[in-house]
A and B are shown apart, each in its own frame.
Chain A
Amino acid sequence: MKNLFFLLCLLWTMQAYGGSRQLGTGAVMQIEGASGSGIVPWATIAGYGESDETDITAAYTFLDTDDYEFEAQGVAVGWLNRFEISLARQSLDLVTLGPAIGLPGATLRQDVFAAKVRIAGNLVYTNMPQIAFGVQYKKNKNFTIPGLVGARDDSGVDYYLSASKLFLAKPFGFNGFATVTLRSTQANETGLLGFGGDLGSRHLNLETSLGLFLNSSWAVGFDFRQKQSNLSFASESHWRDVFIAWIPNRHLSVVAAYADLGDVATLSDQQGFYLSINGSF
């Protein structure tokens, strides 16, 4: 019911006016609420607002693997194509593990409060890439399970530096795009399993996105996100996905992806389809 209401809000946003930046340059909301692609934050500012405009984006994301169901809802405000603040609520339903540990219905939840500032460059118009610095404060809603598996803290802060660039007419006349993001984080499984552990705490990880606009409203690409293992009870895998995005106008974008999350909390080979719906107004 809550999701239905959310979708109606998204549809309503399509009636309103967005910013004036070019189609696709707002990217989409990644799982932690930042403007980016599926699992990687980009240097882009959410929505389509230019230096004298404000744009608001909301998104609903769902990922289903064999043993988990992941859900995220987020809102982001892009201000003057300079600042972005966002809030995301994530949940991970332990479909298989819950019953196995005697907690059927067990779901890990966290909130992510985040901010990003564009430091230099423009995604489209400057030779240098657009560069941004971002902060994500993450807080577990319930620390019981993260605490049981050895996490040290129920909250943590990620810092990232990101460079994004759109390559007009390259390669082969198509518009290519690339992002490199460096993230400093203590999070276990992005924070859903708490922060820090018996094997370590803060690490520096590399994340990348590469892709191509096939025409003005369809894009394809892939993401890679390096991860660390802080908990000896189960090692983490690097994440990757391939995605296709449909961006019919400045108010709606839909992303479908196939994600490979590898081993997640002792369960191996977690793969599945990812769907994300974004609205901007």
Chain B
Amino acid sequence: MNNQTTFQWLTAALLLCLLAFQPLPAADNQLYHELGGQPTVDRITHELLDRILVNEKIAFLFEDTNREELHEKIANQICMETGGPCDYEGLDMIEAHSGMDIKYSEFDVFVSDFIAAMEAAQVPYRLQNRVLAIFAPMREDITYE
């Protein structure tokens, strides 16, 4: 292996390490307030339920719950995860979705509706991304794949 090739391997290995071991995001306590507090959280939840409960690809996942109960659970969790003054009292992500056999594609459809809900609630793009950054790592706990 000549020097140039060695250098290339080292550079690539270093970049891969940087990509692989980036630190987890620090707790984002300001986010709840930047979003606009509970009114925005309720608005996002409302818009989200308007979509997922009629979306033929995922609506069946919510058949066993009523809308009020679902609203409370989801709003409560968005509040808590964005640093708001709420204590999430429901099951954790694994327990809450166990036995539901949620596929990656169904999770992705939910995320698309969630993005559309934030858009409808007029959440600015960069705040949307910060919310997604909190929930994205939960995919493995929510899905069964």
A binding-site residues for B, Cβ under 8 Å: 19-22, 50-53, 81, 122, 124-129, 163, 165, 167-170, 172-175, 178, 180, 182, 203-206, 208, 215-216, 226
Q: Which residues of A contact B125 (CB under 8 A)?
A: 173-174, 215-216
Q: Which residues of A contact B19 (CB under 8 A)?
A: 128-129, 163, 165, 178, 180
Q: Which of A81, A125, A175 contacts B129 (CB 8 A)?
A: A175
Binds A, one of B76-84, B90-98, B136-144: B136-144
Chain A at the B interface: SS class: loop
B binding-site residues for A, Cβ under 8 Å: 5, 8-9, 11-12, 15-16, 19-20, 22, 24-25, 57, 103-106, 108-109, 111-112, 115, 125-127, 129-130, 132-133, 136-137, 139-140, 145
20 cross-chain CB contacts under 8 A? A51-B145, A81-B104, A125-B140, A126-B140, A127-B20, A168-B129, A168-B130, A168-B133, A169-B25, A169-B132, A169-B133, A170-B25, A170-B133, A174-B126, A178-B19, A203-B5, A204-B5, A204-B8, A215-B125, A216-B115
Cα–Cα, bound, A182→B12 (Å)? 7
B112 touches A20 (CB 8 A): yes
Instruction: Beyond the given A50-B105, A204-B8, please list 11 additional residue pairs across the A-B interface where CB-CB is below 8 A.
Output: A22-B111, A50-B104, A51-B105, A125-B136, A128-B19, A163-B16, A163-B19, A168-B133, A174-B126, A180-B16, A216-B115
Cα–Cα, bound, A226→B5 (Å)? 12
Q: Which of B16, B24, B112, B126 contacts A129 (CB 8 A)?
A: B16
Cα–Cα, bound, A129→B17 (Å)? 10
**A105 smallest CB distance to B (angstroms):** 39
A173 touches B145 (CB 8 A): no
Cα–Cα, bound, A22→B135 (Å)? 14
**B7 smallest CB distance to A (angstroms):** 9
Q: Which residues of A contact B139 (CB under 8 A)?
A: 122, 125
A180 touches B15 (CB 8 A): yes
A20 touches B108 (CB 8 A): yes
A172 touches B105 (CB 8 A): no
Cα–Cα, bound, A128→B22 (Å)? 8
Q: Which residues of A contact B133 (CB under 8 A)?
A: 168-170
Nearest chain-A residue to B124 (Cβ)?
A173
Cα–Cα, bound, A51→B144 (Å)? 12
Q: Which residues of A contact B16 (CB under 8 A)?
A: 129, 163, 180
A50 touches B129 (CB 8 A): no
Q: Which residues of B contact A50 (CB under 8 A)?
A: 103-105, 108
Q: Which of A127, A174, A175 contacts B24 (CB 8 A)?
A: A127
Q: Which residues of A contact B5 (CB under 8 A)?
A: 203-204
A127 touches B137 (CB 8 A): yes
A169 touches B129 (CB 8 A): yes
Cα–Cα, bound, A32→B139 (Å)? 32
Cα–Cα, bound, A173→B109 (Å)? 23
Q: Which residues of A contact B22 (CB under 8 A)?
A: 127, 167
Cα–Cα, bound, A122→B57 (Å)? 22
Known: A124-B136, A168-B132. A52 touches B11 (CB 8 A): no
Q: Which residues of B contact A204 (CB under 8 A)?
A: 5, 8-9
Q: Which residues of B contact A22 (CB under 8 A)?
A: 108, 111-112, 115
